[in-house]
Homo-oligomer: A and B are copies of this chain.
Amino acid sequence: MSNSYGKLFKITTFGESHGAAVGVIVDGCPAGLEISVDEIQHALDRRRPGQSDITTPRKEEDRVTILSGIFEGKTTGTPIALVVNNKDQHSHDYSHIEHAFRPSHADYTYTAKYGARDYRGGGRSSARETVARVAAGALAAKLLQHYGISVQSYVSQVGSIKLRKPYQELDLSQIDSNKVRCPDGATAARMIGLIEEARDTLDTIGGVVSCVIQGVPAGLGEPVFDKLHAELGKAMLSINAVKGFEYGSGFEGVKMRGSEHNDEFYTDEQGNVRTRTNNSGGIQGGISNGQDIYFNVAFKPVATILQPQTTINDAGEEITLKGKGRHDPCVLPRAVPIVDAMAALVIADFLLRQRANKV
C-alpha cells in the first residue's frame, strides 16, 4: 500500500467506500494559512454524489470534520486531519458481489495482491477515496491562492463529443454553470445528451478533463525524476478510471517538426520572459517557465453497468452479474474537482520544494 502523496506538502488518505469513514492527514501545510471548514466543504460539495441527474442519485452529504492542525482559523504547521463519515455503511447487501470478480473492477487484483478483500462495494479501490483528496486539495488550493496561482479544470470531451476550442477561447468562470462542467454551453448540451443516452441504455461513457494552471512562477519542478509534468502525470493517473495524460502539445505534438513545435522566447513590455507559442504547456525540462500550464486527462467509461455481464467468481466459475444500485453513467462531471485537487497538491508541493534550491 502506498497511501501518501507529496514530499513536503504531504497527504495520507484512508477509508473504504463502506467502512466507517474516509479521511486524510495533511502533513506539511505551512503554518499561518487562513482556512475555514466551509472552504473545504465547498470543494467536497462539487464532488458530492447526487448533485444532478447525470451523476449517481445516491444522497451523501459528505460533511467534513477537522480533527487537528487548525487553530483560531489558521494552520499551525502541525498535521491537519480531516474526516468524512460514511452513511449507512452497514445497511447494504453485498452477497451478489462477495465472491464475484466484476469486469474491469479491482476485485480480482485486490484479492490477488492481499489474499482477500473488503467486498463491501469497491472497498479501498472505490472512487470514494477521492473524498479525502478533494478535502486536502482545498487546503492546497488555498495556499496557491495566497501566491496568486489558480487551478481550473473542465470537461473537454465526453465519448466522441470534443470541445475543439483551446482554453484561451473559453470563459473558465462558466465551468460550474452547467451540470457537465464544460464551459462551452452548446458543447455542454450535447455532452449532457450523450450521458443521458448512455444512462438510459444502462450503459456508461468516458471522456477527458482538461486543466489550466495560471500564475505559476518560473522555476517549479524537480528534475530529473520529479519533473513538474511527471508528477502531474502520476497524480492524475492515480485517480480512479484514468487511462492517459498529456500536457502541452501532447500526443498531437509528435506529428510536428521541431521548427513548428519550438516555442520562441521574447521579452514582453513589462520585461517578462514569455514564449510566443506554448506547445511546451508551460513546462520546459520539467520546470515551469511562467507560461500557463495545461494538460488533458483521459477517463475510461465507468465499469459498473446495469446490464448483465459474464465473468467469474473467486472459485473460477463462470457467472452472470448485473450491476445494482445507483451509479454514475459518466464520471467526468464529478472528476473535475478531483483533477483540481490533485493539480493543486502537486503545485503546492513544488512551491515548497523550490524554497530549498538556492543558497
On whether the beta carbons of B30 and A81 are closer than 8 Å, the reply is no
Across-interface contacts of A170 in B (CB, < 8 A):
none
Interface-centre pick from A12, A244, A259, A273 (highest chain B CB count, 10 A) = A244
State whether A256 and B301 are in contact (beta carbons under 8 Å apart), knowing that A77-B358, A245-B237 are contacts in the complex: yes
Contact of A208 (CB < 8 Å), options: B16, B254, B317, B352? B254
Across-interface contacts of A58 in B (CB, < 8 A):
none
Across-interface contacts of A215 in B (CB, < 8 A):
none
On whether the beta carbons of A244 and B243 are closer than 8 Å, the reply is no
**Dominant secondary structure at the A interface:** mixed
On whether the beta carbons of B230 and A238 are closer than 8 Å, the reply is yes
Against B, the Cβ 8 Å flags (1 = close, 0 = not) of A275-290 are 1000111011111111
Question: CA A221 – CA B125 in complex, angstroms?
Answer: 12
Question: CA A275 – CA B141 in complex, angstroms?
Answer: 40
On whether the beta carbons of B223 and A1 are closer than 8 Å, the reply is yes
On whether the beta carbons of A298 and B254 are closer than 8 Å, the reply is yes
Cβ distance A159 to chain B, nearest Cβ, rounded Å: 5
User: Which partner residue on chain B sits nearest A118 by CB separation?
Assistant: B71
On whether the beta carbons of A20 and B288 are closer than 8 Å, the reply is no
Interface-centre pick from A78, A143, A290 (highest chain B CB count, 10 A) = A78
Residues 267-316 of A contacting B (Cβ, < 8 Å): 267, 271, 273, 275, 279-281, 283-290, 296, 298-305, 307, 309-312, 316
Question: CA A137 – CA B168 in complex, angstroms?
Answer: 41
Across-interface contacts of A47 in B (CB, < 8 A):
none
On whether the beta carbons of B271 and A316 are closer than 8 Å, the reply is yes
On whether the beta carbons of B245 and A32 are closer than 8 Å, the reply is no
Is A181 positioned at the interface, with any CB of B under 8 Å from its CB?
A: no
Against B, the Cβ 8 Å flags (1 = close, 0 = not) of A100-135 are 010111101110111111101001110001000000
On whether the beta carbons of A255 and B12 are closer than 8 Å, the reply is no
Question: CA A205 – CA B78 in complex, angstroms?
Answer: 29
Additional pairs, 7, CB under 8 Å, beyond known A227-B238, A266-B310, A352-B356: A14-B79, A19-B67, A105-B285, A106-B223, A125-B285, A203-B258, A204-B257
